[in-house]
Amino acid sequence: MAPLPSPCTCGAADVPQLAPVVVRMYQPDPDTPALRSRVLDMFPSPEQLATMLFDVMEALGWRETYMLYNKRSEFYSCFKAMLNEAASRMFYLWSQDVPPDKEDGDALGAILHDVSTSGRKNVLLMTSADVVAVILDKATEMLLLTSESHWIVTSVDVRESQLQSARHSGALLTLLRPFPETPPPWGRDAPDEQLSYRTRLALDAVKLVSSLSPDLVTGYSRRSDREGSLYPREGDCGAGMTDYISEYSFLGFSGHVSFDSCGKRKIVTVFVDEYLQGESKQVGTWTTEGTTEIQSGWQKPTETHLLSGRHLLVYTALSKPFFMKKPGKSGEVGSTPYHGYHLDLLEMLASHLNFTWNITRIGSRNREIVADAAKSKKYDLLLVAMAMRTGFTGWENIEYSIPIRTRGYFLTMKKSNRHEGQGIFQFMGPFSAEVWLSFAAAVVGVSFALAVNGRLNPCEWAQAASRGEVSVDSGHLSLVNSLWSTFGAALYQGHEFLPRSSTGRVIVGAWWFVILVMVASYTANLAAFLSRPSAERSIRSLVDLARQTDVPYGTYKGYTFVKFLKKSQEEPFKTIGRYLNKNSDEVLFNTSRQALERAAKGDFIFISPTTYEYEILKDRCDMVILTDEYFFKYQVALPFPVGSPYRAEINQALMKMTEDGQMDALVNRWFNKKKYKCSTGSSDEGVLDMEHLDGTFYYLMIGMGTSILVFALEWVHFKFKKGRSSDPVNTGDRV
């Protein structure tokens, strides 16, 4: 909004004056109170926008659409007008409010799922420019952008760089441009190709204000404010607007600038562009006079069968688990020595599209080599999963199929080995060796004190038995019995031989108090000790990785995300990037294989690509995958030379297999982590496994073995003693 300067009221304090002219560069919310001023709207009115959108959609042959909008869109002011226009034209309109947060992927996915299940191919994307790329990326991932899709993007400031997701999808995008491509005569030096629409309106508003008559650059007196007689009333477009404004008309950055008697833009021209496969061209215009001329060169693709009966030459590359050699296969006649996700996918495509194939070269996954293979046109199909990224040299003439997998990065390290720590003595971990030795000495000392007291104290069982007061076997506190009773009390099994004297009871009472403290401390510390977090349990995400400082981490220095981490100002990326930059000599490696082997040695976390996931799950049981979900995710797809006659047909087959669930079955066959012998799925938090408590079972087995040995000794001793007692006594000859 650009209000005129404050008026000068010198000598005219009591003279009622006209309300000031306000130049507004946006359409306010419908619920915003009206300004008590004469308003010139640089932005087209809601009715004009709604009429334009429906005229364009009908010119494209649409009779229904699914509208995705948010309240930050320039077009949101026409939302109510669009509902009225749809009702008057008998036009079927469905709408969903897109979440404003670009990071809310789950909510956006749910909305796009509704679009997918509705079966609507015509989508009106009425959102702000900052979320266009996010929505198109998600739509591509969910297979909503196909060769049968047609989307209208209303954001006037959207850049072609934000449309890259649709470039290789085959979908048609219609773009609206409410300004001419060339600057006005008075603004030739302005960099018009870099100006946003809001900036264009501001430049035109400045020119308009500078051109207004000085009579309009006036304010209003307090008396006029009190009476309000000179302000526009409801239904009145403004006193004097026609007389003063109608003469102002010029060609500006936002098009032809002129106003009607109500201060609305009188002449509005919208240029209609089409964006298809990375190229944009103008196909029509719309004007407020009702002229809609659109000559679209796009036609809905018809079903083709170019691949039927053909024999394809295929280029591929070794990559686990996409394409691998079978173990022990020599490639005998009648069998293939290879297997993998790509080979199964190729057989499924051949079955659907009725073609035969032959792998003529097994090369490299290097981008330059794959690009050269595509340019050579020696191969009909490149069976290599490549990241759907732009900006690589030599890939200007390469386009992709729809995504076939989501890849990314994860955290991995060497699996902890219990034999390197406490081992079978883990249950002794809560107390130090000094505490255990002191406890053993206390057991012996208390037992010895009880035995001495029982032997010498006249009030104890032994002395009482010698006086005939009790039986000989009653409460006999020998050293052996004292040891047994003391040990039993330590294990909460009770004191079998209780002392009779007050001295003995004082000793036992003191021992019981010590046992109470020891057992309570051991129980509490044992629970904390056995469930204490290790790196495997505590690090589950990049946030956890950034917070800890105990375990070093790193990766291959050539990965693109390393540059992102070093430049990022957001957490946790900033902390991780600062760590990598500070310790680059120790944690950034020349190859990814070096980083993996460093992690395999222990005490190191590798930020690994999914390239190594299959190897870790199947062969590297000494490694553990820490993260449950990928991060820095990206889509991979099959590359095609631009203009490949087979790309559209293969895309249709891939979408059909996705809808039928065949792609899910294929993914489950090769990417289900639980199927592999080295699966490192996270266990339930707080659950103790055998490596924590196996020592107790070992000691139980030792105790059972010792009891068998003692039983044998007792049996032999008893038999020997019984045999000696049964022998006759030789007294010799009596004289």
Given a cut of 90, is residue 30 above it in pLDDT? Answer: no
142 three-state secondary structure:
coil
282 three-state secondary structure:
strand
Give the pLDDT score at 550.
87
The Cα–Cα gap between 644 and 284 comes to 29
Tokens 């891939």 belong to which residue? Answer: 654
Here the tokens at position 342 are: 């790509």
Q: Are 52 and 31 in contact (CB under 8 A)?
A: no
Least trusted range by pLDDT, from 85-94, 158-167, 258-267, 693-702: 693-702
Tell me the pLDDT tens digit for each residue of 687-726.
556 666 666 667 667 766 776 787 778 778 777 776 666 5
β partners of residue 339: 324
Give the pLDDT score at 6.
40
Bond from prior residue into 5 cis (ω within 30 degrees of 0) = no
Burial of 228-250, coded b for 16+ CB within 10 Å and e otherwise, reads eeebbeeeeebbebeebbeebee
Q: Are 700 and 427 in contact (CB under 8 A)?
A: no
Count CB neighbours of 318 within 10 A: 14
81 three-state secondary structure:
helix
**HEC states along 475-512?**
CCCCHHHHHHHHHHHHCCCCCCCCCCCHHHHHHHHHHH
CA neighbours within 13 Å on the CB side: how many for 237?
A: 14
The angle subtended at Cα 169 by Cα 168 and Cα 173, nearest 5°, is 100
Given a cut of 60, is residue 593 above it in pLDDT? Answer: yes
Burial of 625-644, coded b for 16+ CB within 10 Å and e otherwise, reads bbbeeeebebbbbbbbbeeb
Q: Are 106 and 74 in contact (CB under 8 A)?
A: no
DSSP string, 227-242: H-TTSPPTT---TTHH
Q: How far is CA 279 from the centre of its chain?
A: 31
Bond from prior residue into 499 cis (ω within 30 degrees of 0) = no
Distance, first Cα to last Cα, the chain:
146
Nearest by Cα to 637 from 329, 450, 385: 385
Give the pLDDT score at 228.
41
Given a cut of 60, is residue 474 above it in pLDDT? Answer: no
Query: What's the average model confidence in pLDDT over 30-55?
Result: 75
177 three-state secondary structure:
strand
312 three-state secondary structure:
strand
Given a cut of 50, is residue 560 above it in pLDDT? Answer: yes
Given a cut of 90, is residue 605 above it in pLDDT? Answer: yes
The Cα–Cα gap between 606 and 626 comes to 10
The Cα–Cα gap between 476 and 465 comes to 9
Given a cut of 90, is residue 294 above it in pLDDT? Answer: no
Count CB neighbours of 265 within 10 A: 21
Here the tokens at position 716 are: 């032999």
Given a cut of 50, is residue 402 above it in pLDDT? Answer: yes
Question: What CA–CA distances, in Å, run from 372 to 378, 391, 531?
Answer: 10, 16, 55
Q: Are 499 and 486 in contact (CB under 8 A)?
A: no
Here the tokens at position 540 are: 């589950």
Q: Are 224 and 11 in contact (CB under 8 A)?
A: no
The Cα–Cα gap between 6 and 217 comes to 8
635 three-state secondary structure:
strand
β partners of residue 324: 339
Give the pLDDT score at 14.
47
Tell me the pLDDT tens digit for each residue of 182-202.
767 666 555 545 677 788 888
DSSP string, 428-481: GTTS-HHHHHHHHHHHHHHHHHHHHHHHH-TTSHHHHHHTTSS-TTTT---HHH
The Cα–Cα gap between 234 and 611 comes to 68
Tell me the pLDDT tens digit for each residue of 313-367.
999 998 888 998 887 655 443 347 888 999 999 999 999 999 999 988 888 888 8
Read off the pLDDT band of 37 (50, 70, 90). Answer: low
Question: What CA–CA distances, in Å, run from 82 to 44, 48, 87, 638, 723?
Answer: 14, 10, 9, 41, 113
Give the pLDDT score at 140.
80
Task: Please name the residues in contact with 478: beta carbons below 8 A apart, sequence gap of 6 or more.
Answer: 451, 454
Domains and CATH numbers, the chain: 46-181+270-294 (3.40.50.2300), 423-530 (no CATH)
Read off the pLDDT band of 543 (50, 70, 90). Answer: very high
Q: In what order do the strands lie in the sheet with 122-126?
A: 92-97, 64-69, 122-126, 150-153, 172-177, 269-276, 279-287, 292-294
204 phi, psi to nearest 5 deg: -65, -35
β partners of residue 635: 406
Here the tokens at position 279 are: 């190229």
